[in-house]
Amino acid sequence: MSELYAQMKQSVLDGEAEDAAALAQQGLDAGLAAVEILDLGFVKGIEEVGDLFARGEFFLPELVQGPRR
């Protein structure tokens, strides 16, 4: 499951909402609790985005524009 959580985190970092939704459904289908999906997957990505923003490596336009290509 750690790989699935890593993919969830990365989907947040990449701003990929559709991927995030699919990964969340995959976790639910695998029997994971929603709180675990959030805490161990998506919140880790949110925390890293916050850290990157605090260090000046992410900027507000990048955060709101969505996926970076």
User: What pLDDT digit, counting tens, does each position of 20-60 carry?
Assistant: 999 999 999 999 999 999 999 999 999 998 899 899 888 77
* Residue 60 confidence (pLDDT): 75
Euclidean distance between CA atoms 27 and 37, whole angstroms: 7
Task: Give me the pLDDT at residue 61, please.
Answer: 72
21/18 Cα distance (integer angstroms): 5
Say how far residue 47 (Cα) sits from the centre of its chain: 9
CB 54 within 8 A of CB 22: no
pTM for this prediction = 0.85
For 2-65, CATH number? 1.10.1240.10
Query: How many angstroms separate the CA atoms of 16 and 9, rounded?
Result: 10
